Amino acid sequence: MGLIIPVKEFAERRRKLMASMAADSIAIVAAAPEKERNRGTLHPYRQDSDFQYLTGFGEPDAVLVLIPGREHGESVLFCRERNPEKELWDGYLEGPEGAIERYGLDDAFPIADIDEILPGMIEGRSRIYYPLGKDPQFDTQVMDWVKVIRSKVRTGAHPPGEFVALEHLLHDLRLYKSANEIKVMAKAGAISAEAHCRAMTRARPGAREFHLEAELLHTFMSHGARQTAYPSIVGSGANACILHYTANSDELRDGDLVLIDAGCELECYASDITRTFPVNGVFSEAQKALYEVVLAAQYAAIDAVRPGNHWNHPHEAALTVLTQGLLDLGLLRGTLTDALASEAYRPFYMHRTGHWLGLDVHDVGDYKVGGAWRELEPGMVLTVEPGLYVAPDNTDVDERWRGIGIRIEDDVVVTRDGCRVLTDGVPKTVAAIEALMAG
């Protein structure tokens, strides 16, 4: 299956990062370690997002080193050597040759030789960029390489004097998505939308939440998206009010809603969709009333996603509509101004309206710059996900509202004149959901 992000784009990212680094510096980024699940079996491997962004190289036990101005190549990869015997058990390895030929690295060495080679590359560079504190074991390794150089100062060696967190530079690059990245994220969004449609059409009273989870996975995997971007949430009835519910084991009951928050990962890019729909295909009056409030809040928030607006504008738009809706339906009393100022909506809406989305589901990038909310700019991708959750034991409200949890979440990319929704392949109006489920 062809990949959407071409090899030359990874080279371009490395070039951009190096252009923002100090001239006599070096950057070091490690692949994610493998993690044991239990005796003798590993968790499915997921590459570190920073490493993935800069290499597209999917193996563990690898280290990328960027050395601006190095004569024999600025992008250097250390990785596992090819080994037919090992490959027979664990699958193919690229080897240093493959890293150069197929991933466009300038130079590559066996990872087994890194202790011998890397100190020599660091020597003479005055600043090291690396993700400080992310992996304590790797911190120790970096310090050990530096110590090797320090031990040789009397022979004229020049150890680096400065350690700088790589994240500031790298994560700012990651925040602005390229046309290809948006293409991948749109594809991931389309697959996830199809999965949500499939789950909607297969919901039945008496089935269990994990049956719908299985339908989601079926669609993800059928499209080659082997991993989810995060554990799928399938919460029916009052389970929808537990924000991070993942037990997914209860029976779907006639008359309840079910909230599904699930998205696949494609080429390591996340999608993140939430839909809430009736188990039996038809909203009750109370469910519909609350649902329309959340939907109106989501439309208002999406409308606020445009260049010139800042990060908090969509959240503020959602809060206003949600709070007015709670007042109109009698779940809150008083005026809109007072209810917003006192955060009276909090028992019903306790999370924010979105987050950056990219290689990580809660993607990198600063939300504030110099103390002020960040302005939205073309290429930024975010989720818009307002909700309302009425706790089953909330005796302050009429009984008919209790135990209803609703969230509607889409992925949107900021464009030159507004935004584009990447996940509109799954319905969200009451009429469209009921029509799909009836059909």
- Applying CB under 6 A, the residues found at the interface with ligand GLY are 230, 261, 272, 355, 361, 385, 409
Cβ neighbors of 221 (< 8 A, separation 6 or more) are none
Cβ neighbors of 30 (< 8 A, separation 6 or more) are 48, 51, 62, 63, 64, 135, 138
By beta-carbon proximity to ligand GLY, the closer residue of 230 and 373 is: 230
Query: How far is residue 345's CA from residue 139's CA, in Å, rounded to a whole number?
Result: 44
Q: Phi first, then psi: give them for residue 90, nearest 5 degrees.
A: -110, 0
Query: 383, 410, 412, 426: which one contacts Mn ion (CB under 5 A)?
Result: 383
Question: Least distance in Å: CB of 341 to ligand GLY?
Answer: 27
Cβ neighbors of 342 (< 8 A, separation 6 or more) are none
By beta-carbon proximity to Mn ion, the closer residue of 92 and 367 is: 367
Query: 48, 107, 123, 272: which one contacts Mn ion (CB under 5 A)?
Result: 272
Query: How far is residue 255's CA from residue 199's CA, in Å, rounded to a whole number?
Result: 17
298 lies in the binding site for Mn ion (CB under 5 A): no
Among ligand GLY, Mn ion, none, partner that 48 touches (CB below 5 to 8 angstroms by kind): none
Question: Least distance in Å: CB of 354 to ligand GLY?
Answer: 8
By beta-carbon proximity to ligand GLY, the closer residue of 261 and 265 is: 261
By beta-carbon proximity to ligand GLY, the closer residue of 233 and 327 is: 233
Query: How far is residue 52's CA from residue 46's CA, in Å, rounded to a whole number?
Result: 9
Query: How far is residue 152's CA from residue 70's CA, in Å, rounded to a whole number?
Result: 22
Q: Please identify, among the stretches 6-14, 113-121, 257-265, 321-329, the one whose residues bind Mn ion according to the rule CB under 5 A.
A: 257-265
Chain residue at closest Cβ approach to ligand GLY = 261
Question: Least distance in Å: CB of 385 to ligand GLY?
Answer: 6
261 lies in the binding site for Mn ion (CB under 5 A): yes
Among ligand GLY, Mn ion, none, partner that 428 touches (CB below 5 to 8 angstroms by kind): none
Among Mn ion, ligand GLY, none, partner that 182 touches (CB below 5 to 8 angstroms by kind): none
Q: Is 248 left (phi over 0), alpha (psi -120 to 50) or beta?
A: left
Give 314-323's long-range contacts (Cβ < 8 A, gap of 24+): 314/353, 314/354, 314/382, 314/384, 315/352, 315/353, 315/354, 318/353, 318/384, 318/386, 319/345, 319/349, 319/353, 321/293, 321/296, 321/297, 321/386, 322/293, 322/294, 322/297, 322/348, 322/349, 322/386, 322/388
410 lies in the binding site for Mn ion (CB under 5 A): no
Question: Least distance in Å: CB of 191 to ligand GLY?
Answer: 16
3-state SS of the chain: helix, strand, coil percent to 5? Answer: 40, 20, 40
Question: Least distance in Å: CB of 385 to Mn ion?
Answer: 5
By beta-carbon proximity to Mn ion, the closer residue of 48 and 272 is: 272
By beta-carbon proximity to ligand GLY, the closer residue of 45 and 230 is: 230
Cβ neighbors of 217 (< 8 A, separation 6 or more) are 195, 228, 232
Question: Least distance in Å: CB of 127 to ligand GLY?
Answer: 35
Among ligand GLY, Mn ion, none, partner that 363 touches (CB below 5 to 8 angstroms by kind): none
Among ligand GLY, Mn ion, none, partner that 230 touches (CB below 5 to 8 angstroms by kind): ligand GLY
423 lies in the binding site for Mn ion (CB under 5 A): no
Comparing C-alpha atoms, which of 403, 389, 396, 404 is closest to residue 330? 396
By beta-carbon proximity to ligand GLY, the closer residue of 235 and 237 is: 235
Comparing C-alpha atoms, which of 410, 233, 378, 397 is closest to residue 306? 378
Question: Least distance in Å: CB of 168 to ligand GLY?
Answer: 24
By beta-carbon proximity to ligand GLY, the closer residue of 181 and 272 is: 272
> C-alpha distances in angstroms, 8 versus 5, 55, 94, 171, 180?
8, 10, 18, 20, 11
CA 246, 250, 252, 257 dihedral sign is negative
Question: Least distance in Å: CB of 434 to ligand GLY?
Answer: 25
Question: Least distance in Å: CB of 244 to ligand GLY?
Answer: 8
By beta-carbon proximity to ligand GLY, the closer residue of 232 and 236 is: 232
By beta-carbon proximity to ligand GLY, the closer residue of 107 and 272 is: 272
265 lies in the binding site for Mn ion (CB under 5 A): no
228 lies in the binding site for Mn ion (CB under 5 A): no
| Interacting residue ranges for Mn ion, rule: CB under 5 A | 261, 272, 383, 409
